[in-house]
Amino acid sequence: MHPTPLPSSQMPFVDTLGRPLRHLRVSVTDRCNLRCQYCMPEEEYVWLPRQDVLTFEEIATLVQVFTELGVDKVRLTGGEPLLRKNLPALVAMLARNPRIRDLALTTNGVLLAEQAQALRDAGLHRVTVSLDTLRPERFRQLTRRDAHARVLAGIEAARRAGLTPLKLDTVLIRGYNDDEILDLLAYAQGIGAELRFIEYMDVGGATHWSRDKVVSRADILALLEAHYGAVTPVAERGWAPAERFCLPDGTIFGIVASTTAPFCRTCDRSRLTADGMWYLCLYATRGIDLRRPLRRGASAADLKRLIVTTWQARQDRGAEQRLELEALGLRSAFVHPDELRQDPHLEMHTRGG
């Protein structure tokens, strides 16, 4: 008997909601050099066993398999991806894969000044830098590290190296940095970057989350309209998580409204953790172990079959379900710190955001 023929990148396959598999976020480490209060607020963390962390060759093999199934956007993330030793070597391996149209990196920027040029030379297309505040003292309070100047230097280095279009991501938290919306927009515009406001999400890791701390899409738009006048939507967002808007002066910015206006119906993203677990949703409580079959010598065809059958059964729409809970008055932090210690895969810093 012949096994079922596999879809190829020319024949996209879809999940139960008709969503294709196109975008893969690859976490290269669960370690981080910051302790952002919306992501890693605890004092102690349980880390992935070192021997489980995939080598660059293993990551490149899995990415190759995914791209042969239609993935054409790959984003390296973490933890903090720039903590992974010799990351440009991995970038160079991935950049040789012609199926990847978009090869990007999300970073907190602390180590970017030292690495931007090497990453660019290795073939990285662009970076997104997380920047939640323009105030060094506030940065220290938000992240428990004194590294604000290094982040700004990293952003500048990325610009000089041509890692563009440069994007800046700002998680807004009421009472912490929501008074900087206008300043952050002006800063981004001044350096030719596009800023995206991210709603504070109740994901694993966000153990201090509460609904009243969320600055919603509606709040952001109301503030900007009061200040600048009409804010107009820019084209269709398609499969992208951010809705884009234009201010009267032409400034373009984005909002990722995962908490109050989820976009699960157009979610073509999945996540590979540093130890090779594949997650179909940010809120998924279980992942699919790809490391074990890979290390046991599974063929590319075997891995493809596992990936295709898993994706075809995908029903995830985690953020929508969180919103449904909110309507019932039952929404609070997604997981308890004890559960996170038992399974660090539930953490946002393991999953890669």
- The binding site for ligand SF4 (CB under 6 A) comprises 32, 34-36, 39-40, 78-80, 108, 130, 262-264, 267, 269, 281-283, 316-319, 349
CA–CA separation, 156 and 319 (whole Å): 34
37 binds ligand SAM (CB under 6 A): no
The interface partner of residue 53, options being ligand SF4, ligand SAM, none and the CB cut-off 5 to 8 Å by kind, is none
CB of 189 to ligand SF4, least distance (A): 24
- Site residues for ligand SAM, 89-148, by CB under 6 A, read 106-108, 130
Amino acid at 137: E
Helix (H) or strand (E) holding 80: none
CB of 314 to ligand SF4, least distance (A): 9
Residue in 310, 343, 181, 316 with CA at minimum distance from that of residue 262: 316
Question: Residue 323 CB: number of other CB atoms within 10 A?
Answer: 17
Q: Which of 78, 254, 262, 287 binds ligand SAM (CB under 6 A)?
A: 78
Residues in contact with 59: Cβ distance below 8 Å, sequence separation at least 6, in sequence order: 26, 28, 90, 93, 272
Q: Which C-beta is closer to ligand SF4: that of 231 or that of 287?
A: 287
The CA R_g of the chain, rounded to the nearest whole Å, is 20
CA–CA separation, 23 and 258 (whole Å): 17
CA–CA separation, 253 and 257 (whole Å): 13
The interface partner of residue 316, options being ligand SF4, ligand SAM, none and the CB cut-off 5 to 8 Å by kind, is ligand SF4
Question: Strand (E) positions, the chain?
Answer: 23-27, 73-77, 102-107, 126-130, 167-172, 194-199, 232-233, 243-246, 252-256, 269-272, 277-279, 288-289
The interface partner of residue 206, options being ligand SAM, ligand SF4, none and the CB cut-off 5 to 8 Å by kind, is ligand SAM
The interface partner of residue 203, options being ligand SF4, ligand SAM, none and the CB cut-off 5 to 8 Å by kind, is ligand SAM
The interface partner of residue 263, options being ligand SF4, ligand SAM, none and the CB cut-off 5 to 8 Å by kind, is ligand SF4
Cβ 124 vs Cβ 91: under 8 Å? yes
Q: Which C-beta is closer to ligand SF4: that of 33 or that of 251?
A: 33
Q: Which C-beta is closer to ligand SAM: that of 97 or that of 177?
A: 177
CB of 305 to ligand SAM, least distance (A): 30
Residues that bind ligand SAM (CB under 6 A): 32, 38-39, 77-78, 80, 106-108, 130, 169, 171, 198, 200-201, 203, 206, 348-349, 352-353
